[in-house]
Amino acid sequence: MSRTRLTAAACLAALMTAAAPALAQDFQSTPVVTDASRAALALPRPQPAIPAPADTPYPGVIQYRADITDLDRRIIRVRQTIPVADPGPLTLLYPKYLPGNHADTGPIQLLAGLTVTANGQRIEWLRDTLEPYAFHLDIPAGVTSIDVAFQQLTQPDSSNWRVLMAPAMVNLQWEKAILYPAGYYSRQIPVAASVVLPAGWKYGTALTTASRDGDVAAFETTDLYTLIDSPMFAGAHYRRVDIDPTGAPSESRVHLNLLADEEKGLAATDDQLKLFEAMVQQADRLFGARHFDNYEFLFALTDQMGGIGLEHHRSSENTGAPGFFTDWAKSAGDRGLLPHEYTHSWNGKFMRPADELTANHNVPTQNTLLWVYEGQTEYWGDVLAARSGLHSKPVALATLANVAAFYDNQPGRQWRALQDTNNHNLLGYRVPGQFPSWMRGTGDYYRESLLVWLDADTLIRAETDGRKSLDDFAKGFFGHNDGSWAPQGYTFDQVVAALNAVHPHDWAGFLRDRLDAVGPDARAPLAGIERGGWRLTYTDTPTADEKAVNTGWANDFQYSLGFTLAGDKIANILWGGPAFEQGIGAGWSLVAVNGKTGSAEALRNAVTAAKGTDAPLELLIKSGDRFRTVAFDYHDGLRYPRLERIEGTPDRLSDILAPRKR
């Protein structure tokens, strides 16, 4: 450093040193903003506190209308008339914690054009500075209702939010296009909703239609909770099918509402529909009760609207491939979706974790029992798919093998217990991040929890010589109060007590051992598979059923080289696996295999050729303008998961998957 620069630097250091005490003093004297001083912020007027919800009736009925006809611009236009009882502060809320999302996912970023008027005059709103989902109003004297107008600017692609509007169908989710008054339980706020539909369109919803005047559908007044729990699928190509085999009255039956991009997508055959009837029948036999007045499967067969599988108490939102029915063989791996969402009517909606049974949609949710809410639903969804015939037994076994292999090879349990993954959505809604096998996340409280419940089921069966099973828990815990559909909250202790009522055991210890397992010695909960009479193995030649379940099998090297291929991109790198140990992370592409043009097929052939030999396996990979050659010392061939029967043991797993006769 030159003398001139050194002198300048020394002077600067001296100035900074001299100024430090003054800077620290000035910073420490800066006032701290508290709730009590928020009115002093730079706002046009003081903002009031957001009223806490009270269990009292809202004075009046909110009139609500959504116009979903602007398909080309994908805009939903909303108008609401909200009665007000008194002048003064009123806070309107946009739903933040959405049902079935277990997180603060309300897309308020898509709300635009918010305008409030009363008696022809504008009332200016003020957004809360700490809670941007709240809008404060000051209602003038003499005003008995306000008119609220805004737009929901739905998205043209699913990069940030799902596509809700397509040329031939719309998914109207009320919670994403509504404002409601703070200070009340959502079940205490009555709403009379109506929808302006594109010309000639039909729709499915669990709401009761009061009238249909041309293309305007009006629904019977209901409470905000039920409205938000009753979405609509509307479209140009629509078919409604009765899949209830019980002969119940028409007003309390189960229906399949099909929508498609084209009319041909609706062509479900009678044999296919009978499988869905069998699913309804098997659910009746499992739970022994219904907690709904009617149930509507909303099922869109589309590649133009965003994918979804979302539960509601008396309906569910589902999507499948356009050829779900017309190319039936290819849909084998996707047929577990509707049984899963149907199970949620009992587990998650009627019976719900107490910390998710909140007063309204802006009270924070907690997710400590998602391993029951989602995990046991995942279990029963797969079981019902098998018992109904939607999944053949080989498909059901292949599905379970995939789950077992994933968790048997997952290193993330070394630092993160299953219980902690229940909070994953609150950390960022279903954000997988890099190295998902190490991070763990959303899928774990579904699929690893499934293994926990299989473990419990086979334990009960083994210790009672088959006299009892988890079916008895399902009927006792979820199947009481037939006909009632008022939600009930449950706790960990109640789950344990219900298990003990079926078969006495240290269920609290059993569950905690599996939920809290963490560290280098923690293992996946696979005991239920072996107690069920099967074991996890690997094969280099998947069957047609295994390929139907693992549709990406041809690009799947997870259990050999420790990654998958997405085109030429190396993805899903297994933490600690062979590729990881070669220093490969995100952003690398496959260029060549053993000196020849790289592809999934070339890589499969090379891995197969190297099996049982000392032949080299060299990959040329590329990231940006960098190239690397990596050599794998791997000679165990391709590996795909499979369940293998343990001869001479009770086949409890087959019993679990078999249909119930009564």
DSSP string, 504-547: -S-HHHHHHHHHS--STT-----HHHHHTTEEEEEESS--HHHH
Strands (E), 302-366: 309-311, 315-320, 351-353
Q: Determine the 3-state secondary structure of 453 from DSSP.
A: helix
| Contact yes or no for 561/414 (Cβ under 8 A) | no
pLDDT value of position 252:
73
Sign, CA dihedral 79-82-87-88, equals negative
pLDDT value of position 427:
85
* Mean pLDDT, each 10-residue run in order, the chain (662 residues): 40 40 49 56 90 98 98 98 97 96 96 97 97 98 98 94 97 98 98 98 98 98 98 98 84 91 97 98 97 96 97 98 96 96 98 97 97 98 98 98 98 97 87 86 95 98 98 98 94 98 98 98 97 98 96 97 97 96 95 97 97 94 97 97 98 98 93
Length of the chain (residues): 662
Phi, psi of 439 (to 5 degrees): -70, -35
CB atoms under 10 Å from CB of 492, counted, come to 16
| Distance separating alpha carbons of residues 586 and 624, to the nearest angstrom | 12
Sign, CA dihedral 289-292-294-297, equals negative
The 8-class DSSP code of residue 434 comes to: S
Nearest to 64 by CA among 81, 76, 50: 81
Phi, psi of 352 (to 5 degrees): -140, 145
Q: Which residue has the tokens 């019902």?
A: 384
DSSP string, 155-219: -SSTTTS---EETTEEEE-GGGS--EESSB-GGG-EEEEEEEPPTT-EEE-SSPEEEEETTEEEE
The C-alpha R_g of the chain, in whole angstroms, comes to 29
Strand partners, 319: 300
pLDDT value of position 430:
80
For strand 190-196 and strand 62-70, is the pairing parallel, antiparallel, or unpaired? parallel
Cα–Cα–Cα angle for 152, 157, 160, nearest 5°? Answer: 75
Tokens of 439: 């991070």
Nearest to 347 by CA among 310, 385, 309, 380: 380
Distance of CA 387 to the CA centre of its chain: 24
